[in-house]
A and B are shown apart, each in its own frame.
Chain A
């Protein structure tokens, strides 16, 4: 399959919307991904991110809920709304002929969400009862504390989040290159920030309380968080002593992707501590972060840590080359061995949906087009050193299921 990614920026200074096009002549549908930068550094912001997306997709001015449902089902997939540590994502598929609708719906969702008090309150009412899985806790730590949050706060957050300069849109499919850019350009040419009244509610003014961090399930989750990898600096500063994205990708692949990984060999095969153990690069406000996680009925973190360090020390060029092969398989063959995780259910794949999303996300995150990190120049010593620091220094998060 051949596909071409083309990136455009609307406007000259301070582009109101970042636009990416993923041209795929074999695509059977259109895919639209809207990504907005959002801070989720505390439980309050996390709660806001959790409710904002679902509140938006309750309907827009021209597309009340049922119409939005009807329109976004034409590509055969249910509309997706997800919040992570640094972004809010809305994705939907349309029929190939629905190019005009893609433009219109993008605009509607970004600027014209209804956010009626009644529908937003329903989203808020459900929030305290939401449950998160162990894996969601592993990759996206921190629960939202929505106490005192009200519809006015959500409206304010919508205006603040979906503001010029903070939104990235990508469209994937088989269409004329540049057409989506032109059409969105016409729509957003004069987009200016909307003055939103900050309700300064008790939600904003009172200090947040600690949210519930447990998950419903058996066993305990163990997560070892690695150092945050600054994605922009890593790409632009070769001489930087900070860990780079290629280095972190390779380390994650060697640590926890597949059955030849350090985690599989030690945690499952040697120690019998877990059935499922995975490493991933997950979004973080400061870049991306490697995380190793497993669920165990009898977790013994220090034994696991020592075994992992021993395995890392024994890594060879063969291990590294195998990890490189895995990374290339993910990109080429849609094998679910990607180190990238943007939702708790599955890693990034090379589906049209995911290729479109990663372009929108990466553009929002770095200002650049996404390309798979080239690990060719990463040395075995470097990857050993990075992985050793990660596992040795991590403060384990051990969360017991209930």
Chain B
């Protein structure tokens, strides 16, 4: 599913009264604002998403968005994250394949301080060579820390999607090629108005809060036209992950439709069936993976999946749906996780909502479930096998 083109006018869409109070605003420049009210919540979160349209990972730019995330967290004076922490605001960032996510968490009274920081992040940065070099050294230490599940996931994506599945993490070699000038250009592309979504969730008045965000984002313009996000074409395949221990299997899942819902259920069913197995899923409108993995043992995942009988799958069916629904509902109960999921979906396509997936999970029937289990078997799955001993 491609990103919907930005509308040429501001569009206000209030949710029906029986739903949780949310207000989504699509500005003329393409930036989207979502404010969700969680009555009584003591935590307030502001999250900024910068989509990957026009800045997808390539072998040449592999990990440059990740490096930029590191630098952005430091802000203009190099100490934004620490300044915010001293104010009692927790500030962190994550780089996904489809978006960069910056998250502020604090109290409702700290909205203005968070928005001031957002403004700072959106302005063109001025990195010098020394700052970039120092951050590269920190990232080299980060590379040493990559956990097995991430290494396996990287390999599974590679198996499924090849170059278009490159992880956002990068490599030492690829990030070393980044230059301050290149990073400034990257910042401009990533934070193109049409690539930006701001989500605020907490005990806030939604109209007033939206009005506070608008001046920060609505006057930003760009002459550059954003390209559509290309769809990834995935396939089942098997690759070895020489630097990882364990095993992971990914099933291709695009969008939030019935097939993805069934695949998510199947993943949870398998994870519950196999001790210490985990599920990794980051929703993607353009081609993603639902991954089931195990990193505490080699050779204890695939063989079990291959040997699942119809009887086993029947026993897994109801719990699998409950677990998938439980995960989705859990995401929507707290301001921080709800903002995270909603923002990640909105930045890919304005029409994507977690409720769509929740409804689809409810509809998953026995036949669809069995078909989804089959997506984790060796002829359909993207398989990553760790060979580290």
Contacts and interface: CB of A to CB of B under 8 A. Distances in A.
A126 interface: yes
Nearest to B70: A275
Contacts of B148: 131, 133, 216-217
B315 A66 contact: yes
Contact of A73 (B142, B272, B312): B272
Contacts of A28: 329, 333
Contact of A131 (B138, B143, B246): B246
A129 B326 CA distance: 31
Interface in A54-94: 54, 57, 66, 69-70, 73-79, 93
A329 B107 CA distance: 9
B90 A337 contact: yes
Nearest to A329: B88
Interface residues of A, number: 51
Contact of A333 (B40, B106, B388): B106
B124 interface: no
Interface residues on B, range: 35 or more
Contact of B145 (A66, A219, A272): A219
Contacts of B41: 1
Contacts of B323: 73, 76-78
A181 B105 CA distance: 37
Nearest to B276: A54
Interface string A129-145: 11111100000000000
A335 interface: yes
Contact of B144 (A218, A332, A334): A218
A130 B296 contact: yes
A51 to B, nearest CB: 11
Interface stretch (B22-30, B79-87, B338-346): B79-87
A295 B144 contact: yes
A77 B279 CA distance: 12
B86 A322 contact: yes
> Binding site of A, secondary structure by majority: helix, strand, loop or mixed?
loop
Interface in A320-338: 322, 325-326, 329, 332-337
A335 B322 contact: no
Interface string B313-329: 00110111011011101
A297 B296 CA distance: 23
B179 interface: no
Nearest to B134: A272
A26 B334 CA distance: 12
Contacts of A336: 90
Nearest to B297: A129
Interface of A: 1, 26, 28-29, 54, 57, 66, 69-70, 73-79, 93, 123, 126, 129-134, 216-219, 258-260, 268, 272-276, 295-297, 322, 325-326, 329, 332-337
A-B pairs with the 7 shortest C-beta distances? Answer: A76-B326, A73-B319, A219-B144, A275-B142, A66-B315, A275-B141, A218-B144
Interface of B: 40-43, 81-82, 85-86, 88, 90, 105-107, 134, 137-148, 243, 245-246, 268, 271-273, 275, 295-300, 312, 315-316, 318-320, 322-323, 325-327, 329-330, 333-334, 336, 388
9 contacts: A28-B333, A69-B319, A70-B319, A131-B295, A216-B388, A259-B82, A326-B85, A329-B90, A332-B43
